[in-house]
Amino acid sequence: MKKIAVIGAGNVGSHIVAIGVHKDLNVEFVLVDINEKLLRAQYLDISDMLPLCDKSNISTRSFKDNFSDIDIFVITAGVAQKPGQTRLELTDVNKNILRSIQKNIGEIKKTALVIMVSNPVDILTHLATKIFELPVGHVFGTGTLLDTQRLLSKLDEKECTNHDGTPVYVLGEHGDSSFVDWSNYEHSSDYSHEKKKKIEDSVRREAYEILEGKGSTYFGIASAVCDIFDVLLSEKIEYLPLSVSLLGEYGLSNVALSIPVRLSKNGFSFDLKKIKIEKEELNKLYNSAKVLKNYI
Ligand code: NAD
């Protein structure tokens, strides 16, 4: 049975584990949080689901314990946005929390995968790629996967695919400079410029509206992470928009942002031939990189 450690048992972490347990993924979820009282409460609450599931288990650990048996780390620990705050405003505090978590976890398997969720997810993915020192493809962030889910719910078509059959994507920064990859979208010509702009703006604004109303967002991101688990725990291959540190792809390096990557049980790999980003969107990708590089 694979072991998935979810570091941060707040709104996002607890929902990832709850949805994962309900999906009966045949894994042991290991919950970790510095807030021991909250950790115990989340553990007890989620444990109530176990009698309804055959193949899931959960446990808790503290940073005094050993993590060398963990297959997948999901990092959701950190400070969340307050209403009106941008994700990038969380940079300094969440960078420090990530550095302390990496130190506290200690030695991990070289085959382990690390999924970053805490914001600003692109900045933290780039930092995690550096500090965890795992092979290329083992550290990535959820990036614009959530934004892509938000896009799909706003398009008119049921089948929202690109010309090559991959799903239509939101790419770039998981933040205010994200953009839709309209050029590849099969039904792009059915949308006016104004309609495209309206959809793109509402995808970007959605997190702010949710935060304004209930203080945090967790259902969408938790389902996105559990979809990633589906790939990592199977023989499936999927092309997903994930935040990854670029190594010269599209002429960019020393920055992480979302491009479509090939995801398998071994992590991600680059496959630039599969989905060609056209000039209009490439310029938007460069703009996201410029924004993000100010925070690295
Ligand atoms: P939350 O405040 O409910 O939970 C964060 C948890 O992290 C808390 O329980 C806190 O005790 C814990 N924590 C803090 N420092 C820690 C440390 N050093 N070690 C272990 N645990 C620690 O916040 P949330 O709503 O769950 O959001 C968590 C993060 O996820 C935020 O940064 C938020 O912006 C981000 N988020 C990302 C996406 C995305 O699409 N990537 C979506 C939603 C939220």
Q: Which residues line ligand 1 (CB under 6 A)?
A: 7-13, 32-35, 38, 76-78, 80-81, 90, 94, 97, 100-101, 117-119, 121, 142, 146, 174, 216-218, 221
Residue 163: per-residue pLDDT: 82
Extract the tokens encoding 103: 């130190």
pLDDT-above-90 percentage for the chain:
91
Distance from the alpha carbon of residue 174 to the mean position of ligand 1, in angstroms: 16
Which of 17, 118, 149, 221 has most ligand 1 atoms within 8 Å of its beta carbon, as the pocket-test mutant? 118
CB-based burial of residue 27 (10 Å sphere; 0-12 exposed, 13-18 middle, 19+ buried)?
Answer: buried
Residues labelled as active-site residues: 174
Q: Are 140 and 125 in contact (CB under 8 A)?
A: yes
60 or 162: which leads in pLDDT = 60
pLDDT-above-70 percentage for the chain:
100
DSSP line for 251-296: G-EEEEEEEEEEEETTEEE--TTTSPPPHHHHHHHHHHHHHHHTT-
Q: Are 103 and 71 in contact (CB under 8 A)?
A: no
Of ligand 1's atoms, which has the minimum distance to the CA of residue 87? 34
Q: pLDDT digits over 73-128, tens only?
A: 999 999 988 888 899 999 999 999 999 999 999 999 999 999 999 999 999 999 99
Which of 15, 33, 38 has most ligand 1 atoms within 8 Å of its beta carbon, as the pocket-test mutant? 33
Angle at 111 between CA 169 and CA 106, to 5 degrees: 105
The SS3 assignment for 31 reads strand
Task: List the residue whose alpha carbon is closest to atom 27 of ligand 1.
Answer: 80
Residue 84: per-residue pLDDT: 84
Residue 165 pLDDT > 90 = no
Residue 164: per-residue pLDDT: 82
Distance from the alpha carbon of residue 26 to the mean position of ligand 1, in angstroms: 25
Residue 68: per-residue pLDDT: 98
Question: What average pLDDT does this structure show over 133-154?
Answer: 97
Q: Model pTM?
A: 0.97
Single-letter amino acid, residue 199? I
- Rounded to the nearest integer, the mean pLDDT of the chain is 96
